[in-house]
Structure 1
Amino acid sequence: MTDHRSIPPKPPHPTQREKPLPWEHPKPRDEDADAAKRIATIMEHPAYREPDHDVDFLHRDATRGVRLQLDYLKAEQGLVEHQVHQSIVVFGSTRLREPETAKRELAKASHAVAQAPEDASLARQLRLAERRMELAQYYDVGRELGRLVGMAGGGPKNSSLIVMTGGGPGGMEAANRGAYEVGAQTAGLNITLAHEQYPNPYVTPGLCFRFHYFALRKLHFMKRAAAIVALPGGFGTLDELFGALTLMQTRKVPPMPVVLIGEAYWRNVFDVDYLIEVGSIDPEDAELFWYAESAAEAWAGIKAWHQSNGSWLFESDDTPWTQGEAR
């Protein structure tokens, strides 16, 4: 017999045993003929599933807190793994057309009206096509801004500073596309909707995240934002823009550059002077944003704002910008 008090035993196999444990086999049939059937029923019941494998359990009202944590954590881990420190967040309409697409739609609408000049519905479609043609220039602005941001910092492969959008078509696509075209990494934050949504094809694989909760998506837009740029847009763009401005107005987050592309469009969408006149906002609140017409103008303004503020963008070998770490 080996003296275990003086000689260390041979290390056991990390996963295998020489003799199985009693629970490694079901109850024998010769002890209970119905045991196997009852065991199968027990093991097939949802209660026996491990919680992280039980989708029905994870979607209960009681586990909403867990889902909120996962909605936050998965994107957070992905951004950390890609070493994303800052983002230039670009909002914009999903309906914003590429200029060539808008031109084709306008030609088609014009032809239809010419064939049926009395049709009021076709006349309306023509007016809409004309408007979309006017706004299509902002697709190119978003695309150029994506290129400028993509080329900033330590080079196109450096993900310290990236373009981040909602990951959809239109204005979001334009910004992601510009970054993609210069070889830069670029992020998209999609949202699960009632109808199928596809990410635009220019988001970097591994940096396109799909959220269930709008709130967690908004959190990630703001968490690393070094600036917000809003191309012409509708409800979704307004929601994100005014949500961000409210956070800055109340100093829930430190102010950052907010640029509205296309002054004529935005002044038609909301009258900031009227809001001041009736006392709904203070004059200083109107200083939280400014207008620009081109990507170069917007990008230069963002950099000048940070220089004036004494904060940093991740460009070249600059000291890391830390203003957003507490968000």
Structure 2
Amino acid sequence: MTDAPRHPLRHSGEDRTTARDVPDTPQSRNPAYRLAFADEDFLCRDDLRPVRLQLELMKPELLMDEAEIVSTVVLFGGARIPRPENKGNARTETLRDLTVQYDEARRFAKLVTEHSIATTGGRENVIVTGGGPGVMEAGNRGAADAGGRSIGLNIVLPHEQAPNEFVTPDLSFNFHYFAIRKMHFLMRASAVCVFPGGFGTLDELFESLTLIQTGRMARVPFLLFGEAFWRSIINWDALEQAGTIGAEDLKLFNFVETAEDALALMEDWPHPRTRREFER
């Protein structure tokens, strides 16, 4: 089987390389002369925001398509939950107790990835996290324990950070826009699993629930790990009693305690979804 023929026009990458070696003149040194697509200062102008939004949407989408990622299992959770061996350094007693969620996230991701490899060659139900420390690291680590791939969707923050060491390198992405990052979390999601966390986790939880509640996203298994934690910080029943949500909205999610609980609900899920049901 031969490769498809290239189109006859010169490739933009060739011109980008050639343009680096043009003669040094006042004209060629001026920023106006730079190729538009190779000019970072130009691309960062306020007027180019729509282009940057599109690029952040397209780059991970294209690369995940090329990697044959069909569906994902999303793991949201706190960056501050320590590894069990580091729980002595946790700044609160609650964080020390929540190290069990690190272990559970790691074990859950391992089981999901093993099943994905055995049944789909690792193309479906690929673990995706925010790519950082804490529960996110545990999810990527569990996938690595199983010998599988996992995705990390990092975002640039004011303090220095890097992807955790367990994210598959060619599935490690970085974002400027929170909104586009959250779209990528959900565009392939076959399940959403939320572990204890802070503002970021709560933002992801409620945006995802809102999309499902309003019909902007198909229903998928929506699993909250650690019922005691979630009931202690969110008075779900009070929202329903106040009438600000309906009783049926409390059925959009389930509490689970263990990886086995989560897997059982995912396997018995009665609402199959297809690849392109998220806000086309």
Query: TM (normalized to structure 1)?
Result: 0.76
Question: What does 1:117-156 align with in structure 2 at a 5 Å threshold?
Answer: 128=92, 130-155=93-118
SS state at 1:152 partner: helix
| Residue equivalent to 2:202 | 238
Judge conservation of contact 1:83–1:159 (CA < 8 Å) in 2. Answer: yes
CA distance in 2, matches of 1:153, 1:186: 11
Judge conservation of contact 1:223–1:325 (CA < 8 Å) in 2. Answer: yes
1:254 to 218, 222, 225: 218
CA distance in 2, matches of 1:157, 1:302: 19
Residue 322 of structure 1 and its aligned partner are, at CA, apart by 3.9
SS state at 2:169 partner: coil
SS state at 1:79 partner: helix
Consecutive unaligned residues of structure 1, counting only runs of 5 or more, are: 1-13, 16-35, 107-124, 313-320
In the alignment of these two chains, the number of paired residues is 259
Question: What does 1:283-322 align with in structure 2 at a 5 Å threshold?
Answer: 283-305=247-269, 308-309=270-271, 311=272, 321-322=274-275
SS state at 1:96 partner: coil
Query: TM (normalized to structure 2)?
Result: 0.88
SS state at 2:25 partner: helix
| Residue equivalent to 2:36 | 51
Judge conservation of contact 2:116–2:126 (CA < 8 Å) in 1. Answer: no
Residue 326 of structure 1 and its aligned partner are, at CA, apart by 5.5
| Residue equivalent to 1:160 | 124
Larger Rg: 1
Deviation digits for residues 87-113 of structure 1 (CA, Å, limit 9, x no counterpart) = 0000000011111211x337xxxxxxx
Judge conservation of contact 1:144–1:178 (CA < 8 Å) in 2. Answer: yes
Judge conservation of contact 1:159–1:185 (CA < 8 Å) in 2. Answer: no
Consecutive unaligned residues of structure 2, counting only runs of 5 or more, are: 1-8, 11-22
Does residue 174 of the first structure (1) align with residue 138 of the second (2)?
A: yes
CA distance in 1, matches of 2:227, 2:124: 30
CA distance in 1, matches of 2:239, 2:178: 27
CA distance in 1, matches of 2:278, 2:53: 20
CA distance in 2, matches of 1:299, 1:176: 17
Identity of aligned residues (%): 42
Judge conservation of contact 1:157–1:185 (CA < 8 Å) in 2. Answer: no
2:89 to 69, 83, 105: 105
Deviation digits for residues 111-160 of structure 1 (CA, Å, limit 9, x no counterpart) = xxxxxxxxxxxxxx5xx1x2222111000110011101111134395233
CA distance in 1, matches of 2:135, 2:124: 23
Deviation digits for residues 1-40 of structure 1 (CA, Å, limit 9, x no counterpart) = xxxxxxxxxxxxx99xxxxxxxxxxxxxxxxxxxx9xx81
SS state at 2:170 partner: coil
CA distance in 2, matches of 1:42, 1:206: 38
When residues 160 and 289 of structure 1 are mapped into structure 2, their CA distance, relative to the original with a 3 A threshold, is same
Judge conservation of contact 1:254–1:323 (CA < 8 Å) in 2. Answer: no
